[in-house]
Amino acid sequence: MSKRKLAIARLWYEANSFSPLRTGLAAFQAREWVSGNAARAFYAGTATEIGGTLAIEPEHPDWEFHYLLCAAAPPGGLVEPAAFAIISQRLLSGLGEQEWDAVYLSLHGAMATVENPTPEFHLLRAVRELIGATPLAASFDLHAHLSAEMAALLDATSGYHTYPHIDMDDAAKRALALLIAKVEGRARPKIAVAKVPSIMPSFNMRTADGPMAELQQLAGMWRRQRGMLDVTIYGGFAYGDSPFAGPSVVAVAEKDQALAQRCANMLAAEFLKRKQQFYIRLPRPSDGLLQAIKTEGEGPAIVLDPADNPLSGGIGDTPALFQALLDSKPPAGSVFAFFWDPPLVEVCHQAGAGGSIEAKLGGRITQDFGPAVPIAAKILKLTDGKFRNEGPYEHNLAMDVGRTVLLEAGNVRVIVTESCQAPNDPAYFRLHGIEPRSVPLLCVKAKNHFRAAFADMARCLIDVDCPGPASAGLFHYKFRHAPQHIW
């Protein structure tokens, strides 16, 4: 008896519609651009979606797992149309090479191109047209923009249940379990979607506490009900301008569309009841720094600038927190991570470790968020920017942030990189000879994912309100595609 064939592909990207930058093909090729045996080697042992498929492959000896193109780039600005065309065409070409018994896609759900605010919907529609009635599953990020139109194209689905996202691999396993069960005649999934008519920032969407923890608890109760196969609560991506924008609930029930819809509707109503809890006020940088410096205890005092968080489409270039840090008379050994400045990295690598430079940090891409900060600094360390994640977020994934430099300006050590990627893992700092547990004051362009590895070691962790592409105040942004009544 011949084995059933499962096609696996990935296109993962979160687009900030208000970023001044654009993302081309090179960003995908530099981050994740693998297929076949190269994909197996790249994702083996990682807490990612494709890592999850690899983990369960031995459990299904009657299936052949075929890894087509797996592409991902760090979140950023809108994707260039040519890049999306190349990626989607290669993915579709791979699917068209043979007949499949099932297809699984690892998607984000909040991708957008310069010309198309819903490219994943169009990709799913193209895949469905190509494969016909072949069962199709997809997994999505917790910040996806999902719609009934997208769900109608799927036979099975699941998404991340945690934020920080430490269950990426589990989301893939859940989606694949439903997909394989459907093909083998053991399940008849019915999918329902309910939208929450609002756009909500993700600052207070952590699933370990607050309103999202309450919603996840309610979702868990539904998942345990007879006839329910999966329930995923999606918060949406506040900086993604899409006609599908806003939170949603996707419920999957065994054979019972009405049950799935009832679950989705009730949880969406509970989400909307908690709407105001997702809007929070953050302190100014100077106030947050003062609070951090005064906090006693063990471990680093950490101050985060979520408005320039690369995983929310930040540009690694806004100067407000850095200027406030210099003005605060920080303790010796303080660390600032990071600035994205490839030309400065080149200058420092040419000068060599031990040299001195004068430079301007921030305001390189745009001065809309504040002027550049002049410094005189010593070059402490140069690196190739390569390491492997040690923390729970994307655990064990190989990372390459391009060449980097560690500068010292007075009491502050500053990391400058060749690519714009969030410093969310302790290995990022250890690459630079910095043990994060020993840093007195650590300032980082990051948000909630950072907490997965650092919350337990910090004596305090404070978000501050800085100007940037991903500000807590959504009044900064003008939406063009999102339904007007939700923003």
Q: What is the pLDDT of residues 417-464, one digit of tens each?
A: 999 999 999 999 999 999 999 999 999 999 999 999 999 999 999 999
Domain shared by 126 and 263, yes or no: yes
Instruction: Answer with the one of 243, 278, 313 that is the final residue of a domain.
Output: 278
SS3 per-residue string spanning 121-167: HHHHHHHHHHHCCCCEEEEECCCCCCCHHHHCCCCEEEECCCCCCCC
Give me the pLDDT at residue 161, please. 97
Q: Give 473's pLDDT tier (boundaries 50, 70, 90).
A: confident
Q: What tokens appear for 122 in the block?
A: 């169009």
Q: Distance of alpha carbon 476 from its chain centroid, rounded?
A: 22
Residue 477 is assigned to a structural domain of this protein: no
Report how many domains make up the chain. Answer: 2
Q: Give 486's pLDDT tier (boundaries 50, 70, 90).
A: confident
Q: What is the mean pLDDT of the chain?
A: 96
Predicted confidence (pLDDT) per residue in 329-353, tens digit: 999 999 999 999 999 999 999 999 9
Q: Which of 254, 255, 248 is nearest to 229 (CA)?
A: 254
Domain shared by 261 and 370, yes or no: no
Q: Give 476's pLDDT tier (boundaries 50, 70, 90).
A: confident
Name the residue range of residue 181's domain: 4-278
Instruction: Answer with the one of 249, 278, 307 that is the final residue of a domain.
Output: 278
Domain shared by 264 and 195, yes or no: yes
Domain shared by 89 and 203, yes or no: yes
Mean pLDDT score, 198-225: 94
438 near 381, Cβ under 8 Å? no
Q: Which of 83, 90, 12 is nearest to 51 (CA)?
A: 12
Instruction: Answer with the one of 252, 278, 304 that is the final residue of a domain.
Output: 278
Tell me the whole-structure pTM to 2 decimals: 0.89
Q: What tokens appear for 403 in the block?
A: 């060449």
325 near 443, Cβ under 8 Å? yes
Q: Give 477's pLDDT tier (boundaries 50, 70, 90).
A: confident
Mean pLDDT score, 163-170: 95
Mean pLDDT score, 309-317: 94
Q: What tokens appear for 359 in the block?
A: 């430079």
